[in-house]
Amino acid sequence: MDSRISARALAEALGGWRGRGPAYEALADGIRLLCLDNRIAPRTALPAERELAAALGLSRTTVAATYRSLRDTSHIESLRGSGSITLPLRRTDPGIDDRRDGVIDLQQASPAAWPGLPAVFTEVAQDGAALLARTGYDVVGAPALRESIAQHYRQRGLMTSADQILVTTGAQSALHLIAAVLLSRADRVLIETPTYSHGADAFRGVGARLVGVPVAPDAGWDLDRAAQTFARAMPALAYLMPEFHNPTGRTMTPEEVDAFVDGAQRAGTLLVLDETTAGLDIDRPVAATAFPDSDRIVRVGSLGKTVWGGLRVGWVRANVDIIRRLASGRPVHDLGTPEFEQAVATRVMGLLGEISAQRADLLRAGRNALTRALTETFPEWEVPTVHGGVSLWVGLGEPVSTPLVMSARARGLLLSAGSRFAVEGGHDRRLRIPFTAAPHTLERAVGVLRTAWDDVSGSASGSALDDLAAVV
């Protein structure tokens, strides 16, 4: 047995699990979704029935029926004296079938590869002999690529030298490295909610305590909550996605930027800006970031969203001392970024203007098709207007995101529930829908979603409580 999840942690992760049908089955679906999203890893011990019942305010009979349902579908096994543990997903579970016939996967918010990428791969392969003469990887990064990234920042108005750049195997690797090197256990981290879930995982993984600051598509960042968090929690680090925030698509206003810069300065907080979606502008030219240049600001970027998710090249831009600390701590995690990928990235960095224009056209078509289909099909939903990024943070009006995702999954549409992006629970009235797929695929997805919605709509307004009474 590798790990254990407490009743309190499981209750927070479940969020709004109540759906249509018996309460025990809705709860079982919520746990299944956590397993499918890998928020509960295989071989994790679940809380005892009595503990989970107390945490959720249910009867033990309901939780016992939930565990029985999970055993029947082989999601858990229960051993006398050892409790119940989750099992590895079977190949027949929705979302992991190798054939995936007819499945629409909108869990990954990444566009298809830039069409010019195969030609770049071919060019780099022709220089294979020169690459093979070197070690094959580098802890800090190839000098040519670091200079190309530095030039990218200089074009944005941020004077940057190659010594301020560390190349990583993607943005996620960069965030894990930052968390491991720059944080200590129990340090507080200010983080947006909703947020990029894997970013939150990186900070949780080192034992940091996350303090959420709300951000909404219409209202933006909750500056009162941010000011209180800086003043009371004195966070060691703040993790932000200021441009085309994932999942809301919101971009910070100058006033919001000033508020976070001022709060961080007063609290001595290191600002980590995730800029992986900053170049995904649809409706207007990309503007230079409004955040000032500062030794207390660390920027993380990558080519995953702009070029291709399979090109695992990211970077950290920070002052030289922080770069040295990160480089010294990196061998514990990995030995460097492969030379071939770095050579591809070096060529690609010089083409970002061309790539950004193509990406804008692709994302505009997807956003417009998805917005139109959702507005026509779900007039009761809140469909936000976004000017860039990768997704819509849709308001459902009812806390049924989890059962809706489970119902859609059963029909071949894979989505992530709103609770997947929560820091402290919640967001069950929201659903992230990426618009990175082709327009006809997105239109078909909305049709599937309509059927799923008809299956679960209205369940949050009392039927779940009636079902619960019938069970207990």
- Entry field: residues in the chain: 472
Half-sphere exposure of 272 (CA within 13 A, CB side): 28
User: Quick one: pLDDT at residue 463?
Assistant: 41
Strands 314-317 and 165-168: antiparallel
Mean pLDDT for the chain overall: 88
Nearest to 177 by CA among 153, 197, 206: 206
Quote the CA–CA distance of 191 and 226 in Å, as a whole number.
9
pLDDT at 34: 84
Q: Is the pLDDT of residue 376 over 90?
A: yes
Q: How confident is the model at residue 458 (pLDDT cuts 50, 70, 90)?
A: low
Please tell me the predicted confidence (pLDDT) of residue 26: 81
Higher pLDDT, 283 or 287: 283
Q: Give the Cα separation of 216 and 213 in Å (integer).
A: 10
Whether residue 263 contacts residue 213, with contact meaning beta carbons closer than 8 Å, is answered with no
Measured at the CA of 282, the angle between CA 277 and CA 286, to 5 degrees, comes to 65
For 462, phi then psi, to 5°, come to 140, -30
With a cut of 60, say whether residue 364 has pLDDT above it. yes
- Tens of pLDDT, residues 52-111: 999 999 999 999 999 998 998 888 998 877 789 998 876 445 444 444 567 899 998 888
- pTM: predicted TM-score of the whole model, two decimal places: 0.84
* Structure tokens belonging to residue 185: 């256990």
User: DSSP E strands: which ranges in 194-330?
Assistant: 209-216, 220-221, 237-240, 270-274, 297-302, 314-317
- The architecture that CATH gives domain 117-350 is 3-Layer(aba) Sandwich (3.40)
Q: How confident is the model at residue 20 (pLDDT cuts 50, 70, 90)?
A: low
Q: Which residues, including other chains, have CB under 8 Å from residue 221's CB and lie 6 or more apart?
A: 192, 213, 214, 215, 250, 252, 256, 259, 260
Return the residue matching tokens 């990218």: 152
As a whole number of angstroms, the distance between CA 22 and CA 95 comes to: 24
pLDDT band of 451, cuts 50, 70, 90: very high
3-state class (DSSP) for residue 311: coil
Judge whether 324 and 356 are in contact, CB under 8 Å. Answer: no
DSSP 410: H
Task: Indicate the burial class of 409 (C-beta count within 10 angstroms; 0-12, 13-18, 19 or more).
Answer: buried
Eight-class DSSP state of 46: P
- Start-end of H helices in 315-351: 320-329, 339-349
Regarding the domain delimited by 104-114+354-457, which CATH topology (the fold level of the hierarchy) does it fall under? Answer: Aspartate Aminotransferase, domain 1 (3.90.1150)
Task: Judge residue 219's burial from the number of C-beta atoms within 10 Å of its C-beta, 0-12 exposed, 13-18 middle, 19 or more buried.
Answer: exposed
pLDDT digits (tens, 9 = 90+) for 229-240: 999 999 999 999
Delimit the domains of the chain by residue range.
3-91+464-471, 104-114+354-457, 117-350
User: Domain 3-91+464-471 belongs to what topology?
Assistant: Arc Repressor Mutant, subunit A (1.10.10)
Token pair for 257 = 């930027």
Element (H, E) at 212: strand 209-216
- CA angle 351–352–356, rounded 5-degree value: 125
**What percentage of the chain exceeds 90 in pLDDT?**
68
The average pLDDT across 419-432 equals: 89
Q: Are 410 and 94 contacting, i.e. CB atoms less than 8 angstroms apart?
A: yes
∠ CA 326-314-97, nearest 5°, is 120
